[in-house]
Amino acid sequence: MRQGVGVPKIPIAGPSITQKEIDYVADAVAHAWYGDAGMYHARFERAFADYLGVKHAVALPSCTSAIHLALLAMGVGPGDEVIVPEITWIATSAPITYVGATPVFADIDPRSWCLSATTFESCITPRTKAVIPVDLYGNMPDMDAIGEVARAKGISVLEDAAQAVGATYQGRKAGSLGDVGVFSFHGSKTLTTGEGGMLVSDNDAMVERVQILRDHGRVPGDKAFFNREIAFKYKMSSMQAALGLAQLERIDELIAKKREIFAWYQSEMADVDLVTLNDEAAGTRNVYWMVTVILADSLRITAEEMGRQLAERGIDTRPFFHPLSSLPAYRDHPQASEAALQNETAYSLSPRGLNLPSALNLAREDVRFVCESLKEILRDAGRTSI
Ligand SMILES: Cc1ncc(COP(=O)(O)O)c(C=O)c1O
């Protein structure tokens, strides 16, 4: 058994880096200066927009900054409400507070684990200005149904595709399904720049506004240092852009590996009752950023205990996201206690969910070892039919 000090852990997440990435970054270090300072940004942004089939892509230092600028460009501000799913990383909702608006926590769908049109609609008030559906763990919400509700009520849609580069919904790419889409290239993501993000949109005016807001209130190309307003400094470096371009040129391979890892889990877990893996609805392509298991209600072992026992075997896991309304960060939020009562699916799934190792360097035998360990723990707990 892979146990004890010095035994390498099976990692939860991590990238695939080849000589291509190293060459592109080295080239950026050597050449992307002076008049060529933006050459890798231009190539990365154009290639990313083309990959998604959208007009514009703007490289940024993080997805959090992309959400911040998207909200500002949508005109979200004090007095407005923005609906977010309960289950997501806090980066989806924190920027709503940055702009002085209020997040409203909606329940999730029990199969996709994403926002649904019904849970979204139930949270709409006259103050709702925007909604942020999240493509959770690489899966897709029912974006047509959500878009229909949003359109009928005049609500802007900001698609948080931080975890879902390359996922598709009815043949359309994740991030291209709202008014604005955002991505994360954090080191744990399928396509990484170490830290980084991208904002995409077909809306010329919105993107122009983002370009000004991300550069201290200067219009793109301004050499007069003539700031029109107080804004932000949200720029990606050329080394990151070079890394992102190299990764994007390998995107089909990266996604194929993620899907292969999921297929390994699926076959290893095929004989296990009482656990559920990520869903993939007809018409969608899940890119399985994080392979995730939900333990059945009837099991007496919690996901937290499962994670602890897997860690003893050198297997790294992460808890399913906690419902946002349950976090100390939202202790004083006016809707949090009501959300905690209403959002039953989020509160039921969260304590039973565990992200399993999903790193791009995993081998078949790593996944087999994780699944055998999982089964052993379930068997020892004496609570399954296996
Ligand atoms: C759903 C979601 N939204 C936003 C973010 C923020 O991304 P970043 O860390 O690049 O700011 C993340 C990061 O993991 C995320 O998972």
Q: Using one digit for the tens of pLDDT, what is the confidence trace for 97-148?
A: 999 999 999 999 999 999 999 999 999 999 999 999 999 999 999 999 999 9
Tell me the percentage of the chain whose pLDDT exceeds 90: 94
Q: 194-235: per-residue pLDDT in tens?
A: 999 999 999 999 999 999 999 999 999 888 999 999 999 999
Nearest to 367 by CA among 264, 228, 249, 225: 264
Q: What are the tokens at 77? A: 């501000």
Q: Report which ligand 1 atom has the smallest distance to the Cα of 67.
A: 4
DSSP per-residue string spanning 56-77: EEEEES-HHHHHHHHHHHTT--
At 384, is the pLDDT very low, low, confident or very high (cuts 50, 70, 90)? very low
Inter-residue long-range contacts of 372-377, CB under 8 Å, 24+ positions, other chains counted: 372/268, 373/309, 373/310, 373/313, 373/315, 374/269, 374/272, 374/275, 374/293, 374/306, 374/310, 375/272, 377/301, 377/306, 377/309, 377/310
Sign of the torsion formed by the C-alpha atoms of 301, 330, 138 and 283: positive
Residue among 12, 84, 89, 324 whose CB has most ligand 1 atoms within 8 A, to mutate: 89
Please write the tens of the pLDDT for every residue from 310-349.
999 999 999 999 999 999 999 999 999 999 999 999 999 9
* C-alpha 265 – ligand 1 centre gap (Å): 25
In the predicted structure, residue 251 carries a pLDDT above the cut 80? yes
Per the rule left: phi > 0, alpha: psi between -120 and 50, beta: everything else, 314 is left
DSSP 352: G
The predicted structure's pLDDT at residue 1: 45
DSSP structure class, residue 226: -
The rounded Å distance from CA 42 to ligand 1 centre is 23
- pLDDT for 380 equals 86
Provide, for the chain, the percentages of residues in helix, strand and coil under a 3-state DSSP scheme, each rounded to the nearest 5: 40, 15, 45
d(CA 278, CA 91): 22
Q: Which two tokens stand for residue 93?
A: 């909702």
Say if residue 6's pLDDT is above 80. no
How many other β-carbons are positioned within 10 Å of the β-carbon of residue 23? 12
* 192 Cα–ligand 1 center, Å: 12
| Ligand 1 within 6 A of CB of 139 | no
Mean per-residue pLDDT, 239-257: 98
Q: Who's near 52: CB < 8 A, 6+ residues apart?
A: 173, 175, 176, 181, 200
Model pLDDT, residue 300? 83
Amino acid in the structure at residue 241: A
pLDDT per residue over 40-56, tens digit each?
Answer: 999 999 999 999 999 99
DSSP assignments along 246-311, one per residue? HHHTTHHHHHHHHHHHHHHHHHHTTT-TTEEEPP--TTEE---SS-EEEE-TT-SS-HHHHHHHHH
Pocket test for ligand 1, best of 69, 134, 184 (most atoms within 8 A of CB): 184
Residue whose pair of structure tokens reads 């852009």 in the numeric block = 241
240 lines ligand 1 (CB under 6 A): no
Q: What pLDDT is recorded for position 385?
A: 45
Is the CB–ligand 1 distance for residue 88 below 6 Å? yes
Candidates 197, 186, 134; CA nearest to 12 is 186
Q: Which residue type occupies 383? A: R
In 61-177, beta strands by DSSP E = 81-85, 102-106, 128-131, 156-160, 168-169, 172-173
Does the beta carbon of 52 lie inside 6 Å of ligand 1? no
Q: Return the ligand 1 atom nearest residue 65 CA.
A: 11
Ligand 1 mean position to 286 CA, how many Å? 18
The response to whether residue 64 sits with its C-beta less than 6 Å from ligand 1 reads: yes
- Ranking 67-81, 182-196, 289-303 by mean pLDDT, the lowest is 289-303
Q: What angle do CA 67, 318, 103 make, to 5 degrees?
A: 30
Atom in ligand 1 nearest the alpha carbon of residue 185: 10
Instruction: Tell me what pLDDT residue 5 has.
Output: 53
Cα(375) to ligand 1 centroid in Å equals: 31
- Ligand 1 pocket, residue 162 CB under 6 Å: yes
pLDDT at 381: 80
- Banded model confidence at residue 306, pLDDT cuts 50, 70, 90: very high
Ligand 1 contact, 184 CB (< 6 A): yes
Q: Chain-wide mean pLDDT for the chain?
A: 96
Give the distance (Å) from ligand 1 centre to CA of residue 160. Answer: 8
Q: Which of 64, 82, 289 to mutate to test the pocket of ligand 1 (most atoms within 8 A of CB)?
A: 64
What is the atom index within ligand 1 of the atom nearest the CA of 66?
11
- The number of residues making up the chain comes to 386
Instruction: Give the residue from 381, 379, 375, 369 showing the smallest Cα distance to 3.
Output: 369
**pLDDT surpassing 60 at residue 288:** yes
